[in-house]
Amino acid sequence: MSAKQKGNLYLYTALLCFIGIIVIFFVDGYLGIYDTIYVKSMEQEQTIEFETNMGWKPYIPVRWEEMVSFRYEIDNRSLFNYSALVEISLWQSEKQVMELFRENILVSPFDKKTLNWILDTAKLEKPIGREINYTLKIKGGKTEREFILALAPAYIEEPAYPLAPPPVPVPTK
């Protein structure tokens, strides 16, 4: 083997290794099933992008007697169809309070599916002077996502007892 052929062999090997590294980053970092939830509450929309190893539950404040709208987006960035039964429910103290959504879905490769639902917080326990926490669970296939809905009173209530009248100012000369 000549020196020129040996140099070309090293160049081709280095080029193949570089292409292999790029392919590994693409497959590991881009391909997969990704899900995002958008919550519109108190005239603001919050976005929660779920990660595989989240060590905490996202926290979303909502007001009682308010309609809270949810949009759940499933992004299939894989070469295969993704099908699952998506179940969305509200829980408190390890007991299911209500089921919000249930549907079998099918997402084609490199396609997205969006699910929408609305939560009427007036159907939940009225928070009097305190916040009540609920867990919203989203089960889809083998994954389960959870986040905290913090239900706060719609307005600050007046105390049941009368307040003392304000002091009368002392006249000055």
CATH number at residue 92: 2.70.50.40
Task: Say yes or no: 138 and 82 in one domain.
Answer: yes
Task: Say yes or no: 75 and 135 in one domain.
Answer: yes
The verdict on residue 169 lying in a domain is no
pLDDT in tens, 10-52: 888 888 898 888 888 776 767 888 889 999 988 888 898 876 6
Domain hosting 11: range is 1-30
Neighbours of 125 (CB within 10 A): 12
**Encoded tokens for 95:** 């007991």
Give the count of domains, the chain: 2
Neighbours of 80 (CB within 10 A): 10
Neighbours of 25 (CB within 10 A): 10
pTM above threshold 0.95: no
116: helix, coil or strand? strand
- Is there a contact between 91 and 97 (Cβ–Cβ < 8 Å)? yes
Please give the Cα distance from 124 to 65 (Å, whole number). Answer: 9
Task: Say yes or no: 91 and 20 in one domain.
Answer: no
The verdict on residue 163 lying in a domain is no
For CA atoms 83, 107, 38, 49, the dihedral sign is: positive
The verdict on residue 65 lying in a domain is yes
Task: Say yes or no: 39 and 83 in one domain.
Answer: yes
Q: Say yes or no to pLDDT of 108 above 80.
A: yes
